[in-house]
Amino acid sequence: MEIITKFLEKNGLVVAFLMVGIIIYVSGIISDKLTNKKIPASAIAILAGLILAYIGGVYTKGEKGIADIKIFSGFGTMGGSMLRDFAITATALGASFIVMKRTGWVGALSLFLGIVLSFLGGVVVALLGGYTDAISLTTIGAGACTYIVGPVTGAAIGANSDVMALSIAAGVVKAVVVTIGTPFIAKYIGLNNPHTAMVFGGLMGTTSGVTAGLAATDPKLVPYGALTATFYTGLGCLFCPSVLFLLMKMIFG
């Protein structure tokens, strides 16, 4: 048993990929057999990952969730920014530049509109939660854009750790909602072609949620939605701690 444990600890990244594969496989069975595919397997897998991360954090009293357990330390690398950004960038290889050009100014408009609407929604929730200072409102508003924009904005403008945690939570909730909700609303909003997929990605912004939701709707649409969603994240990281923060300071002081 000790030999097996040491072997697993030395090959943490392989164990991480194996565990993710098992989670996705089991999630697919649950989605197919228990929900009749009404809830995407990817949404179930994300929820399972969040639960495992919480259990790992409580068990080890650490900061990296399940990655603090030596056998599962590979999750720290697998879930890191390098592999995440590589996976996001790789999705662009399936997109057609000709089709992307046809989207034109509508795609660009969806990016700005998506950021502003999400930001304002986060600000309203923050106000209802009792936050009134510009830094907290901006950070939580940015988190409503994505769980990456939130902490990036918070770090740039000097938000405390509690507010940054709330911004991440807001982004995670949004990602899960988009993941689960996309297949249900797709037919009602005409989400069945690259053009609408790019607009949808620009409006929603959360790359993980858009990618998972489109994968459950039509895998061919994933590269287009993921592309604008990725631009959304970059634009949000520039826009929120600068223009939107100054706007919050003007209003709330």
pLDDT per residue as tens digits for the range 170-208: 888 898 888 888 888 888 888 888 888 888 988 898 887
Counting Cβ atoms within 10 Å, is residue 34 exposed (0-12), middle (13-18) or buried (19+)?
exposed
Looking at every residue in the chain, the average pLDDT score rounds to: 81
Residues 143, 153: Cα–Cα separation, whole Å? 8
Counting Cβ atoms within 10 Å, is residue 16 exposed (0-12), middle (13-18) or buried (19+)?
buried
| Per-residue model confidence (pLDDT) at position 129 | 87
| Per-residue model confidence (pLDDT) at position 97 | 57
Cα three-residue angle 73-74-78, rounded to 5 degrees? 135
In sign, the C-alpha dihedral spanning 55, 60, 63, 66 is negative
CA nearest neighbour of 44 among 22, 13, 12: 22
Question: 3-state class of 214 per DSSP?
Answer: helix
Query: CA-CA distances (angstroms) from residue 119 to 146, 179, 191, 236?
Result: 10, 19, 24, 9
Question: Do 111 and 232 meet the contact criterion of CB atoms below 8 Å apart?
Answer: yes
Mean pLDDT to the nearest integer, 52-63: 75
Residues 78, 231: Cα–Cα separation, whole Å? 22
The answer to whether residue 22 scores a pLDDT higher than 80 is yes
**Percent of the chain having pLDDT more than 70?**
85
Q: Which phi and psi (to 5°) does residue 27 adopt?
A: -65, -35
| Per-residue model confidence (pLDDT) at position 62 | 67
Global confidence as pTM: 0.70
Half-sphere exposure (Cβ direction) of 182: Cα atoms closer than 13 Å: 35
Q: Which phi and psi (to 5°) does residue 193 adopt?
A: -150, 160
